[in-house]
Structure 1
Amino acid sequence: MSPITPLSFLSGFALSIVIAALAYRRGSLSRSGAVGALIVGTLIFGLGGWVWGVALAVFFISSSALSHFKEREKAAVAEKFEKGHRRDIGQVFANGGLAALIAALSAIVPERVAPAELWFFLFIGVMATVTADTWATELGTLSKAAPRLITNGRVVEVGTSGGVSLLGTGVSLAGGLLIGLTVGLLAAVSGQMVWSAALPVALIGALSGTVGSLLDSLMGATVQQIYYCDTCQKETERKVHRCGTTTRRLRGLAWFNNDLVNLLSSLGGGLVTLPLACLLF
């Protein structure tokens, strides 16, 4: 891990300002989301080092780009989601907050209590999961084949929480692989690990990201709050549908929203890396 210095914090703060400002202007972040991105980015760059910071940037840039990809085709599905592609501070913390916490713990907790490798793999799993899940959401909704509910295989509408498709699962694997490959190669370039370790790290990213994404779908099908609009006769994550109708709760727990699903699935993806690391290293 890179040494923590005032310069690393200032560099992380400056880069985070630039990224957050560009994302806000492009419409990928709300004002609160830009503030959240500034906090998360500064902590990860400043405490985790530039390798971790680049991984965060890869997630954010790729996810923002995909959210604008074929927006017109995805517009009909967007009504099902609790929030749009303009991420607020809740979404930013749900996707990056745990990674920022891991970066902070890696700097605070003594090596004798928790080795650096623990935080390294947890970070990979968390970032791989949020990337995999975001990619699956943004591209999986474009699948020509109807998704199936992860719990029972029943065919459901595109965008239904808990629905999975071959395309969505495939791109989640690719998203996790990208994060694992990014961290593995950059860690090797910086001398933090040997080159031969880059491939296992990439594999850990791919597998943990996919598992975390599927866990997200499982929670979406079981415990996430889902509502029903009687006017449009459609399921939605929104308490008030886009048509203006106040929806009624259909299933799930009233307090278990999509942000919490994202946070817990990223934690699950992070924990998956630990047995994988023991197996591969």
Structure 2
Amino acid sequence: MISVYVLLVLIPLSLLSWKCSYFMTFYNHNAEPISPVRFLIALVVPILISQWSLRRQSLDISGAVAACVVGFIMTISNLGFFSALLSFFIAGSKVTKFRAQQKKSIEEDFKEGGQRNWIQVFCNGGIAAQLAFLYLLEVGCTEKLIDFERYYIASWLSIAVMGSLCCSCGDTFSSEIGSVFGKSKTAWLITTFQSVPKGTNGGISVIGTLASFVGGAVVSVAFYLTLVLVANEDYLTSSPPQWPLIFVGGMCGLLGSIIDSFLGATLQYSGYDKSSGRIVNKPGPSVEHICGTVFLDNHSVNLVASLSTALLAPRIAFMVWTHFT
């Protein structure tokens, strides 16, 4: 049944995108048009992955449809974007299910299987998808190596897309691993470094911080390998080294996690429900306030952190690449 709903969304979108390839040649004469092979991959692969995710309970129906739309945009613009998105989704789903029973006892909004809905998909991947669409208009349907001297716009947008996904993956690794790893039941609040219960918004730990770097690196490794594999050998040897992508991705994962934690500690409410023994995100009669205010929810925090990291990532990458060119 999901295939019917997804096709109803993707087929018109894909046909529109194919028509847009002709518009792109007028908007940007240097833009690469959409090839039939890339078009077919962008249409079919996201559907297959969404169906697999439904069976694994990583997505609900609305999340699967949203993932198909995001996946289509990312795949048709740059295969590196798709591999980065796929690595984030697979790795994020794995760590979400890590010690699930322990998370269930401390998290109010815990979902069995870590199912993501359309809101979570767009808040974690929507910024990257919008930047990928800009890449589609400005650069076309092609993979460009990172070279700020020859391809500044393509490099800027590529790093921004990767940085946004590294932020989301780094934050997922940090929260999902840091909240249940180790014997200690407390973390440190990022704003005051006071001891708070694990699962508190804005709570950080050494393991969680290290995990955020690893999460970002996982995404950047996938992006790096795809660029290297699809690039022409002459093009690869004449371009700056691409391996700094892995370091930049790890830094974006770490930075995104820090931004997310700071926003969570200040603009998102955290309280301890004495009746259930869980961390909650809303005030209540039996809830003891820990930190934050009722201004942003978890989805909003993820969205702002993703956008902030996407805007900062190209600057970080530019400074890194100046040492290797």
TM-score range, shorter chain: 0.7 to 0.9
Report the alpha carbon displacement of residue 247 of structure 1 after superposing the two structures with TM: 7.0
Are 1:260 and 2:300 counterparts? Answer: yes
Structural mapping, 1:88-167, within 5 Å: 88-109=117-138, 115-144=153-182, 145=184, 146-167=186-207
Q: Which one is further off, 178-187 or 4-13?
A: 4-13
CA contact under 8 A between 1:74 and 1:142: conserved in structure 2? Answer: yes
Once residues 175 and 250 of structure 1 are traced to their aligned partners in structure 2, the CA distance between those partners, rounded to angstroms, is 27
Report the alpha carbon displacement of residue 256 of structure 1 after superposing the two structures with TM: 1.2
RMSD: 2.8
The structure 1 residue matched to 2:250, chosen from 184, 188, 206, is 206
Are 1:38 and 2:68 counterparts? Answer: yes
Q: Which residue is equivalent to 1:272?
A: 312
Are 1:180 and 2:215 counterparts? Answer: no
User: Structure 2 stretches of 5 or more lacking a match?
Assistant: 1-30, 141-149
Q: Are the structure 2 counterparts of residues 239 and 151 from structure 1 closer, same or farther at C-alpha, using a change threshold of 3 Å?
A: closer
Report the alpha carbon displacement of residue 209 of structure 1 after superposing the two structures with TM: 1.2
Which is greater in Rg?
A: 2
Q: Are the structure 2 counterparts of residues 78 and 152 from structure 1 closer, same or farther at C-alpha, using a change threshold of 3 Å?
A: same
Q: Are the structure 2 counterparts of residues 249 and 163 from structure 1 closer, same or farther at C-alpha, using a change threshold of 3 Å?
A: closer
Q: Which residue is equivalent to 2:3?
A: none
Are 1:236 and 2:280 counterparts? Answer: yes
Report the alpha carbon displacement of residue 225 of structure 1 after superposing the two structures with TM: 3.7
1:194 is paired with a residue whose SS is: helix
CA contact under 8 A between 2:106 and 2:279: conserved in structure 1? Answer: no
CA contact under 8 A between 1:143 and 1:165: conserved in structure 2? Answer: no
The structure 2 residue matched to 1:51, chosen from 73, 77, 80, is 80
Report the alpha carbon displacement of residue 265 of structure 1 after superposing the two structures with TM: 0.6
Q: Are the structure 2 counterparts of residues 67 and 99 from structure 1 closer, same or farther at C-alpha, using a change threshold of 3 Å?
A: same
Are 1:70 and 2:99 counterparts? Answer: yes
TM-score by length of 1: 0.87
Counterpart code for 2:88: F
Counterpart code for 1:124: M
Q: How many residues align?
A: 275
Q: Deviations over 1:51-105 (max 9, x none)?
A: 21111110001111222222122221222x4766211100000111111101101
CA contact under 8 A between 2:105 and 2:278: conserved in structure 1? Answer: no
Q: Are the structure 2 counterparts of residues 113 and 277 from structure 1 closer, same or farther at C-alpha, using a change threshold of 3 Å?
A: closer
Once residues 232 and 182 of structure 1 are traced to their aligned partners in structure 2, the CA distance between those partners, rounded to angstroms, is 41
Counterpart code for 1:261: V
Once residues 98 and 279 of structure 2 are traced to their aligned partners in structure 1, the CA distance between those partners, rounded to angstroms, is 24
Are 1:194 and 2:236 counterparts? Answer: yes
Report the alpha carbon displacement of residue 3 of structure 1 after superposing the two structures with TM: 5.5
Report the alpha carbon displacement of residue 163 of structure 1 after superposing the two structures with TM: 0.2
1:156 is paired with a residue whose SS is: strand
Q: Which residue is equivalent to 1:219?
A: 263
Q: Deviations over 1:113-157 (max 9, x none)?
A: 971111111011101111101111111112223311000001111
CA contact under 8 A between 1:23 and 1:29: conserved in structure 2? Answer: yes
Report the alpha carbon displacement of residue 180 of structure 1 after superposing the two structures with TM: 1.6
TM-score by length of 2: 0.76
Once residues 19 and 156 of structure 1 are traced to their aligned partners in structure 2, the CA distance between those partners, rounded to angstroms, is 38
The structure 2 residue matched to 1:21, chosen from 44, 51, 70, is 51
Counterpart code for 2:263: M
User: Percent identical across equivalent pairs?
Assistant: 30
Once residues 176 and 290 of structure 2 are traced to their aligned partners in structure 1, the CA distance between those partners, rounded to angstroms, is 24
Q: Are the structure 2 counterparts of residues 2 and 273 from structure 1 closer, same or farther at C-alpha, using a change threshold of 3 Å?
A: farther
Q: Are the structure 2 counterparts of residues 70 and 268 from structure 1 closer, same or farther at C-alpha, using a change threshold of 3 Å?
A: same
Once residues 250 and 32 of structure 2 are traced to their aligned partners in structure 1, the CA distance between those partners, rounded to angstroms, is 24
Q: Which one is further off, 194-203 or 63-72?
A: 194-203
2:196 is paired with a residue whose SS is: coil
